[in-house]
Amino acid sequence: MTIMNERKAYFYCLIVAVIWGLGFIAVDEALVSFSCFDILFIRFVGSAALAWLLIIKKVKKIHMRTVKKGMMNGVLLFIAYALQTYAQTLTSVSNNAFLSASGVVMVPYLCYLVFKKKPSKRQILSSCLCLIGIGVLTTSKMSFELGDFLAFSCAIFFAAHLVSLQYTCVLEDSQVINALQLGTCACLSIPCTLLFSKVPSAISLNSILSCIYIVVFATFLCFFLQTKAQQVASASSCSVILSTESLFAVIFSVILLKETIHMNLLIGGLMILISVILVQTSSLKNVSSEKTRYKHKAYR
């Protein structure tokens, strides 16, 4: 791959981070009219339909091994979004965004399990800093409440999805993998909606527009770009750029939702972001070797 291609991949990730940052606001607005599982259903059924329209001519050529890869990604992605969306009903946009982004620190450890690459001392230090930051972030409530726990749990599954996507998309068509993972999420959202959702009493125009944004931009477009980017750049490199969604989410929440920035949010959030940068600086220098390792280890 050329350097220009890698830069384009990083640019794709930055676009995704901005869209996801605003996506937290869209979810918050959608929750006014819809339940958590309603939003998951709308999100994944709508985006899966768009993704499958792109590959309609390729359906007959999809190999079973590709189906398994896409389904594995989809299961991890659905669990992550289910936890994150429900967490936002219990905690603030800022807390949810920062805690969700903390998963980037876990990526090197998951890479070690999959690709046998040991984490460095800097990565271990950054993990400790991240955990302290999470503690500072929630000190105003003097407890780690359920919403914060769910947001942190979703970070684990987002990290696993990042590594899984790197593991599976290198040798595959990115459009097909994206359609399969979103299709899996759509299938998983159906029983959850039937079991736990209620018919909304009223639906606002803002909620409808928010759902359109979530489906078209925050899901279909973002995962199309992310899957494309991870065919070129490593999971570790992509994760640090994607984690900046938390910064954009806080900026948008202050501007659009008038959320108050408390000192513990600034300090805790800053510590998490510093830990994210620390854990990635060394890996950014070794993108080529990581990509080679992924290509050799990716299962067929």
Rounded to whole angstroms, the Cα distance separating 86 from 90 reads 7
Contacts of 98 (CB under 8 A, 6+ apart): 133, 137, 246, 250, 265, 268, 269, 272
Distances (CA, A) of 128 to 95, 125, 134, 271: 18, 5, 10, 10
* Cα–Cα nearest to 54, from 232, 224, 228: 224
* Cα–Cα nearest to 40, from 81, 87, 88: 81
User: CB–CB of 262/100 below 8 Å?
Assistant: no
Q: Which residue has the tokens 């599954």?
A: 157
In the three-class reduction of DSSP (H, G, I as helix; E, B as strand; rest coil), residue 52 is classed as helix
Distances (CA, A) of 248 to 76, 94, 148, 205, 218: 24, 10, 19, 24, 13
Q: Which residue has the tokens 């605003």?
A: 22
pLDDT in tens for each of the 300 residues of the chain? 444 477 888 889 999 999 999 999 999 999 999 999 999 999 999 999 999 999 999 999 999 999 999 999 999 999 999 999 999 888 888 788 888 888 888 888 888 888 777 777 776 787 788 778 877 765 555 456 788 899 989 999 999 999 999 888 877 899 999 999 999 999 999 999 998 888 888 899 999 999 999 999 999 999 999 999 988 887 877 888 888 888 888 788 888 877 777 787 788 888 877 877 776 565 555 544 444 444 545 444
User: CB–CB of 63/176 below 8 Å?
Assistant: no
pTM, whole model, 2 decimals? 0.84
Buried b (16+ CB within 10 A) or exposed e, 232-245: bbbbbbbbbbbbbb
Rounded to whole angstroms, the Cα distance separating 84 from 292 reads 33
